[in-house]
């Protein structure tokens, strides 16, 4: 497929997803507000679980890549170990803080149940 065909296919797919999603989340005539609130609780629980799961996955991958790059740099130049160690630990702490931030958001979502 050429580039123009791929772009048209992606645009059509995006348009279909947007058009169908509004129908999927619409409230039906016979649906009571209490039933809609129960359905929303399920979505909130799913969002909280997926949020922390994806954050932990991303944080683990990021920390692994950062440590691997730092160890590779130390292996290539052992004399620079002191200059590499401190920024690596700072970077790992910042990555971990983002995962903790996602945990806080997930806990806040979970308390909405």
Q: Which domains does the chain have, with CATH numbers?
A: 39-113 (1.20.20.10)
* Mean pLDDT of the 87-112 span: 92
How far is Cα 111 from Cα 113, in angstroms, rounded to an integer? Answer: 5
Crossing angle between the packed helical segments 81-111 and 33-76, to the nearest 10 degrees: 170
Closest by Cα among 56, 31, 44 to 109: 44
5-55: pLDDT as tens digits: 888 888 888 888 877 776 666 656 666 777 767 777 888 888 888 889 999
Please answer whether residues 81 and 74 qualify as being in contact, where contact means their C-beta atoms are separated by less than 8 angstroms. Answer: yes
Lowest mean pLDDT: which of 43-47, 57-61, 92-96, 101-105?
Answer: 43-47
Predicted local distance difference test score (pLDDT) of residue 10: 87
Predicted local distance difference test score (pLDDT) of residue 39: 74
Backbone phi, psi, residue 43, to 5° = -65, -35
């Amino acid at each position: 497929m050429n580039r123009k065909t791929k772009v048209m296919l992606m645009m059509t797919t995006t348009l279909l997803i947007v058009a169908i999603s509004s129908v999927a989340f619409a409230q039906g005539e016979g649906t009571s507000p209490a039933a809609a609130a129960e359905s929303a609780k399920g979505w909130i629980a799913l969002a909280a679980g997926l949020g922390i799961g994806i954050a932990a996955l991303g944080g683990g991958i990021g920390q692994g890549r950062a440590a691997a790059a730092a160890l590779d740099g130390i292996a290539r130049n052992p004399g620079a170990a002191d200059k590499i160690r401190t920024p690596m630990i700072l970077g790992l702490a910042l990555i971990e803080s983002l995962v903790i931030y996602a945990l806080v958001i997930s806990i806040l979502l979970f308390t909405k149940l």
